[in-house]
Amino acid sequence: MKLRGSRLVVRALVDEGVRFTFGIPGTHNIELYDALEEAPGIEAVLVTSEVAGAFMGDGVSRTSDQIGVLNVVPGAGVTHSLSGIAEAFMDQVPLVVLACGIRRDTGTAFQLHDIDQLAVLRPVTKAAFAIAEAAEIYPTIRRAFEIARTPPAGPVAVEIPANLMMLTQEVDEPRWAASPPPERLLDRELVERAARMLGEAHHPAIYAGVGAVAGRHQLIQLAEQLGAPVMTTFQGKGVFPESHPLWLWTGIGRSAPPFVRAVVDRCDCLLAVGCRFGEVATGSYGLAPPRRLIHVDIDPEVPGRNFPTELAVTADAATFLGALGALIEGRRPADELVREIADGHERVRRSWRGASSPSRVTPERFFAVLQRHCGDDTVYATDSGNGTFLAAEHLRLDHPRCFIGPVDFSCMGYSVPASIGAAFANPHRDVVTLAGDGAFLMTGLEALTAATYGAAPLICVLRDGKHGLIAEFQKVPLNRQTCSVLPDYSVQAVAEAVGCRYFRILRDSELEAVIPAALELVRARTPAIVEVAIDYSNRTFFSRGVVATNFWRFPWRERLRMLGRALLRRMGG
């Protein structure tokens, strides 16, 4: 049969169950957009920038069983989207990038947009394919989805030359045979060793990441059997329900509150599952795990990579946790530990309430009111900076896929487009954006997309007039805030320009009136932007821990030099 390559692309997307694609059409892929117009069940979403399109696809993938799809034109479309693709790569988020290529049938040089874009994409994708003939299009795209979703997940790029998109070619009926899932045999001896180590421990503990999502029920059962406290990574927030009496904290090491550190310091055997001990998750590696560390991950390159590991296990988390739980006999009493954890959380809450802001919005009050009026399955999308760590410390989430943010690549501008992607994929869930005012400057205009398509998150702009976290890091050692104070701008003017309703919250007393009103609008598919005069004066446990960890890592001479410089600058006014 004769088909344009664009029709083969759409056939592959339909057969994969794709519901949305994100991008901007160009001269090279207009045939693809024409074919998408007629595709059953697929909405081609026009974005304002390709990087935002990548973040939208990321938001779809993190919050649903869909895989986000990005359509980009050659050259600048690829380079504009690169930061969003790299975020998905670093955070292990499945994404399929349809990177249109220049014409390969003319033999001419110096074509429009002509760069070696696969060389650009390969370092930040799991795989990058170049299509040479039309017959390869359908099976290669199906293969790209398979690779993207196979753990450890990540983005996959497919470059399709423009001539194959535009010209009619003779092709056979498209066929695809999925690869059998990789055989992952569980080493029973390693499971038995892990059971013995945990059984011999007086104070076992568990540290879980997003890789443990599929095994969350087994994780809860194992924690209750062991009487073990559970911490999670930032990406893993909600994998273990945070209303559970054994939930300890999001984060680990010096960037956690004192009561958490006291519990972890007693730990004599730590089970780490579905996590990588990355820099952000450990507060800049401010952690000294116990000698008896069991590290389980599906990626064989992860266990033992950052910390000495007594038992390294390459396995699927759900399978391993289920097998391990079957070997643990009885239930260890944990009444005293549960009381200690409850008392610790109450002390933290009291300290937050005691830091109530008289003239701005107190983070503890803001997040408390937000959660009181939002649904239990609300998606909270954070951005690079203070908002992520405030949200991680204040929100209490009982479900996974409810907390998304740029973690290991930490790309500013993530939250607004990612939350829009989440709203597309989850039309019946509340979606809340937590964007710093610096991050909002990067991608805030993408709210136009939300208004146009009725994919309506509640966009909260946490306004302090600075790149808050950087200004905080500058303050102590430098006593300066070079290039971290933002020029003033009108959030209201932006909201009105892109068709969003505008609200402003200047102090705690306004929260109860504004939040429900704004939520009522977004539930009716009208996006709203809420400017929140947030008070960052009470630093997060995370930022305090990171500063302390890195300061004590310097040689004595450098520490004295930094302290002396800061002191002299303060004395000098």
The verdict on residue 549 lying in a domain is no
- Say yes or no: 381 and 491 in one domain: yes
The verdict on residue 166 lying in a domain is yes
Q: Tokens 């204040």 correspond to what residue? A: 394
* 42: its two tokens: 């697929």
- Say yes or no: 412 and 296 in one domain: no
Mean pLDDT within 351-366: 90
Number of domains in the chain: 3
Give tens-digit pLDDT for 535-558.
Answer: 988 889 998 888 888 878 889 888
The verdict on residue 567 lying in a domain is no
Q: What share of the chain is helix, strand, coil (3-state, %, to 5)?
A: 45, 15, 40
* Domain of 409, in residue numbers: 359-542
- Say yes or no: 242 and 302 in one domain: yes
Q: Residue 397: is it exposed, middle or buried by C-beta count within 10 angstroms (0-12/13-18/19+)?
A: buried
Residue 333 is part of a domain; what is its CATH number? Answer: 3.40.50.1220
The verdict on residue 309 lying in a domain is yes
**What long-range pairs does 33-36 form, CB within 8 A, spacing at least 24?**
33/71, 34/6, 35/4, 35/6, 35/7, 35/9, 35/10, 36/10
Give tens-digit pLDDT for 150-176.
Answer: 999 999 999 999 888 887 776 777 888
The verdict on residue 403 lying in a domain is yes
- Say yes or no: 244 and 336 in one domain: yes
Mean pLDDT in the chain? 92
Orientation angle between helical segments 511-523 and 363-373, nearest 10 degrees:
40
The verdict on residue 421 lying in a domain is yes
Of the residues 340, 372, 402, which one is the last residue of a structural domain? 340
Report DSSP state, residue 213: G
The verdict on residue 548 lying in a domain is no
Report DSSP state, residue 302: S
C-alpha dihedral over 450, 74, 116, 22, to 10 degrees? Answer: 30
Whether 295 and 272 have beta carbons less than 8 Å apart is answered as yes
The CA distance from 60 to 63, in Å, is: 6
The verdict on residue 225 lying in a domain is yes
Residue 264 in this model has a pLDDT that exceeds 90:
yes
Residue 364 is part of a domain; what is its CATH number? Answer: 3.40.50.970
Three-class DSSP category at 329: coil
Residue 474 in this model has a pLDDT that exceeds 70:
no
Q: Which backbone phi and psi does 62 adopt, to 5 degrees?
A: -75, -25
- Say yes or no: 437 and 532 in one domain: yes
- Say yes or no: 402 and 323 in one domain: no
Between the alpha carbon of residue 499 and those of residues 3, 208, 410, 449, 450, the distances in Å are 40, 41, 29, 10, 9
Give tens-digit pLDDT for 138-154.
Answer: 999 999 999 999 999 99
Q: What is the pTM of this model?
A: 0.95
- Say yes or no: 253 and 391 in one domain: no
- Say yes or no: 264 and 402 in one domain: no
Q: Which backbone phi and psi does 174 adopt, to 5 degrees?
A: -60, 135
- Partners of 249 in the β-ladder: 231
- Say yes or no: 374 and 486 in one domain: yes
Of the residues 143, 170, 197, which one is the last residue of a structural domain? 170
Residue 516 in this model has a pLDDT that exceeds 90:
yes
Could you tell me the pLDDT band of residue 560, with boundaries at 50, 70 and 90? confident
- Say yes or no: 383 and 470 in one domain: yes
- Say yes or no: 533 and 462 in one domain: yes
- Say yes or no: 135 and 216 in one domain: no
